[in-house]
Structure 1
Amino acid sequence: MPAFIGPVQILNIGGSGIVQFGDSLIISPKSNSKSHSGSGASNTGGIVITINGISITNVIDTNLIDQPTVGNN
């Protein structure tokens, strides 16, 4: 079925970058990621004051598959 869409402004497309207008049967984008960061590394804001001593990040990961995306519809 056709779709009538008014003005659209796309400011940012992240991840897999899929934008769909109109008909679609199946759209199932998948992604996964893992990140390791130390103490206070992911703080955001206008004024961030972080006082850390020794920061150690444990990156030992015994899992082979954390979040499978194959067949996960």
Structure 2
Amino acid sequence: MPGFVGAVQIINVSTGATFNIGDVFQIHPISYAKTFAGAGSFNTGEGIRIRNDYSSTNSYDADGLDQGILLNL
């Protein structure tokens, strides 16, 4: 059943998001990311003290290609 929508103001739609107004059968937002992080990168909290002497992130990816997302429904 169709619906009527009033005024809509879109400020921001991020890169892996979808925005829909109206009737929809299926929505498939697809995104991918590859993250490399060194020691102590994802620490959260209050008053954390971290000491990583001579830390490095070695991100050698030997395969060259990752799994595709073309037909992931």
TM > 0.5 between the two? yes
Aligned to 2:62: 62
- Which TM-score applies when normalising by structure 1? 0.65
- Which TM-score applies when normalising by structure 2? 0.65
Partner amino acid, structure 2, of 1:18: T
Q: Which stretches of structure 1, 4 residues or longer, exceed 6 Å deviation after superposition?
A: none
Partner amino acid, structure 1, of 2:66: D
Aligned to 2:43: 43
Q: What are structure 2's unaligned runs of at least 5 residues?
A: 4-12
> In the comparison of the two structures, how many residue pairs are matched?
67
- Cα drift, residue 14 of structure 1: 4.7
- Cα drift, residue 21 of structure 1: 6.0
Aligned to 1:33: 33
Q: What are structure 1's unaligned runs of at least 5 residues?
A: 4-12
Aligned to 1:8: none
